[in-house]
Amino acid sequence: MSTLSAPFFDALLEYHHRGTTPLHTPGHKGVAAPCGLEKFLTPLGLACDLPSMDGVDYLSHPRGAIAEAQRLAAELWGARETFFLVHGSTIGVQAMILSAVGPGDTLLLSRDMHLSAFNALVLSGARPAYLPGTTAAEIEAALDEHPEARALFLTSPSYYGIGRRLDGVAALCRARGVPLLVDEAHGAHLRFLPDGWLPSALTAGADLVVHSIHKTVGSLVGTAMLHVGGGAIASERVQAMLNVLQTTSPNSLLLASLDLTRRAMARDGRARFAEATERAVDLRRRLEPLALNHVEGCLIDPLRLVVSVPGMSGFDVERRLNDEFGILDEFCDGNSVVFVLGPGDPPDVSDRLVRAFESMSGGQALLPVQRGQAGAPVLHIVMTPRDAAFAKKETVTLRAARGRISGEMISVYPPGIPLVCPGELITDEVADRCAELATQRACVFAHDPTLQTIVVL
Ligand SMILES: Cc1ncc(COP(=O)(O)O)c(C=O)c1O
Q: Looking at residue 372, what is its pLDDT?
A: 42
Residues with CB under 6 A from ligand 1: 88-90, 93, 114, 116, 155, 159, 183, 185-186, 212, 224, 414-416
For the CA of 112, the nearest atom of ligand 1: 1
Q: What's the predicted TM-score (pTM) here?
A: 0.95
Ligand 1 centre and the CA of 423: distance in Å? 23
Q: Looking at residue 370, what is its pLDDT?
A: 42
In which order are the strands placed within the sheet that holds 180-183? 81-85, 224-228, 208-211, 180-183, 149-155, 106-109, 127-130
For the CA of 159, the nearest atom of ligand 1: 16
Ligand 1 centre and the CA of 183: distance in Å? 8
Among 116, 181, 242, 245, the mutation site with the greatest number of ligand 1 atoms within 8 A of its Cβ is 116
Q: Looking at residue 374, what is its pLDDT?
A: 53
Q: Are the C-beta atoms of 181 and 154 separated by less than 8 Å?
A: yes
Ligand 1 centre and the CA of 331: distance in Å? 13
For the CA of 87, the nearest atom of ligand 1: 11
78 conformational bin, left if phi > 0, alpha if psi -120 to 50, beta if neither: left
Q: Are the C-beta atoms of 205 and 170 separated by less than 8 Å?
A: yes
Q: What is the pLDDT along the chain (457 residues), one digit of tens a residue?
A: 788 899 999 999 999 999 999 999 999 988 887 788 888 999 999 999 999 999 999 999 999 999 999 999 999 999 999 999 999 999 999 999 999 999 999 999 999 999 999 999 999 999 999 999 889 999 999 999 999 999 999 999 999 999 989 999 999 999 999 999 999 999 999 999 999 999 999 999 999 999 999 999 999 999 999 999 988 999 999 999 999 999 999 999 999 999 999 999 999 999 999 999 999 999 999 988 776 666 777 899 999 999 988 888 888 999 999 999 999 999 988 888 999 999 999 999 999 999 999 898 875 544 444 444 456 777 899 999 999 999 999 999 999 999 999 999 999 888 888 999 999 999 999 999 999 888 877 789 999 999 999 999 9
Ligand 1 centre and the CA of 416: distance in Å? 8
143: closest CA among 118, 170, 117? 170
Pairing of strands 149-155, 106-109: parallel
With a CB cutoff of 8 Å and minimum separation 6, the contacts of 147 are none
Ligand 1 centre and the CA of 185: distance in Å? 6
Among 90, 91, 208, the mutation site with the greatest number of ligand 1 atoms within 8 A of its Cβ is 90
Q: How far apart are CA 156 and CA 139, in angstroms?
A: 14
Q: Looking at residue 439, what is its pLDDT?
A: 83
Ligand 1 centre and the CA of 220: distance in Å? 14
Ligand 1 centre and the CA of 304: distance in Å? 15
